Amino acid sequence: MDPLSEVLTQLSSQHSFFGGLKAGGDWAVRFPAPQGEKFNVLVRGACWLAVEGEDRPIRLQAGDCFLLSRGRPLLIGSDLSLPALESEEIYRHAVNGVAHCGSADDCFLVGGRFAFGDEAELLFDSLPPVAVIKSDSDQASVLRWALQRLAHELCTPSPGGALMVQHLGHIMLVQVLRMYLEQEAATTPGWLSALSEPRIGAAIQAIHAHPARRWTVEALADVAGVSRSTLALRFKQAAGFSPLEYVLRWRMQLATRSLRNTRLTVSSIAQALGYESDSAFSNAFKRIIKCSPRVYRERARAVVAQAESAARVDA
């Protein structure tokens, strides 16, 4: 499995939402800071996007998409100087997840919001607060297909529609990340930038294939086909951290998954990841996750229990 697929597989979506917005005429909608990662694609029309903390608004055309990787409020509209409606108000009257604003529907956005939890930091912390991906890309054809299907499912409900919407939403998220890799990743240090560099990507793939191995920079340099100093420099420039720091981060990513999803003991998880003692594993875990493995597991179980309790109440 390639590194991007593997990282996305690791992420357990705590909750997700998919929907659309049809608008026209003179309009503006204000959205609060999302809980998690948010992406939208403009199916038709054109509009302006303003994200809190960014210098200037962004013009979006049909086929463009944006990925918001930080929880920041945003404003979308035909004219951002207009008094804005609050998104909670218009989505209160949404039909099949599609809200309406303004006097027409010549502008149509669809998208989703994912809440992955702390384990998503490796992927999304490498992205800028808002990444805009333009439609003039070979990768955009797959996105347009998924986009058309998602728009159809939202506007024409059918049996199994909720599952279709969820899976199409995940396809769109992966495609948006692919398009970002193709267009922008090389200019922004981070994990996705490292993947786009073939030799660094080879080292990352080796780490993923053998996370318990006692990796050294020399061994990873052999895999990448470069000198030790070259790998250390390129890895730091591309990813923003050293090769061995990445080994540690990936091990902790695997550890959090095991603690959440299995009944393996802390000792078993430590051994599977190449640690010779529980204390060495615990110290490494605390450094990255900021709590002990046992505390992390207790918190994860509490979150699951709370979600199950809420589901029973809703039922």
What is the per-residue pLDDT for 5? 78
The total number of residues written for the chain in this structure: 315
- What's the rounded Cα separation, in Å, for the pair 96 and 162? 10
What is the per-residue pLDDT for 153? 80
Compute the average pLDDT of residues 261-272. Answer: 95
Biggest distance spanned by C-alpha atoms of the chain: 66
Per-residue pLDDT band at 202 (split at 50, 70, 90): very high
Residues of the chain with CATH 2.60.120.280: 3-187
Higher-pLDDT residue of 198 and 16 is 198
* Domain topology for 3-187: Jelly Rolls (2.60.120)
Provide the token pair at 159: 């049996």
Per-residue pLDDT band at 242 (split at 50, 70, 90): very high
For residue 115, pLDDT over 90 is answered with no
- What's the rounded Cα separation, in Å, for the pair 27 and 85? 8
What is the per-residue pLDDT for 74? 93
- What's the rounded Cα separation, in Å, for the pair 239 and 259? 26
What is the per-residue pLDDT for 302? 87
For residue 33, pLDDT over 50 is answered with yes
- What's the rounded Cα separation, in Å, for the pair 104 and 6? 42
Higher-pLDDT residue of 71 and 10 is 71
Least confident piece of the model among 22-31, 137-146, 204-213: 137-146
What is the per-residue pLDDT for 107? 93
For residue 244, pLDDT over 70 is answered with yes
Three-state secondary structure string covering 21-87: EEEECCCEEEECCCCCEEEEEEEECEEEEEECCCCCCEEEECCCEEEECCCCCEEEECCCCCCCEEH
Q: How many CB atoms lie within 10 A of CB 115?
A: 16
SS3 of residue 311 by DSSP:
helix
- What's the rounded Cα separation, in Å, for the pair 87 and 99? 9
CATH 1.10.10.60 holds for 197-300: yes
Locate tokens 């998220």: which residue?
173
What is the per-residue pLDDT for 165? 78
Per-residue pLDDT band at 138 (split at 50, 70, 90): low
Do residues 7 and 99 touch, judged by C-beta distance below 8 A? no
Query: b/e per residue, 244-275, with b = 16+ CB within 10 A?
Result: eebbbbbbbbbbbbbbbeeeeebeebbbbbbb
Least confident piece of the model among 77-91, 171-185, 195-209: 171-185
Compute the average pLDDT of residues 35-46. Answer: 85
- What's the rounded Cα separation, in Å, for the pair 185 and 19? 27
- The 8-class DSSP code of residue 135 comes to S
Compute the average pLDDT of residues 47-74. Answer: 89
For residue 44, pLDDT over 60 is answered with yes
Higher-pLDDT residue of 84 and 182 is 84
Cα 143 to its chain centre, rounded Å, is 16
Residues of the chain with CATH 1.10.10.60: 197-300
Nearest of 40, 112, 43, 106 to residue 76 by alpha carbon: 40
DSSP E strand boundaries for the chain:
15-24, 28-31, 37-44, 46-51, 58-61, 65-68, 74-77, 85-86, 98-102, 107-115, 130-133
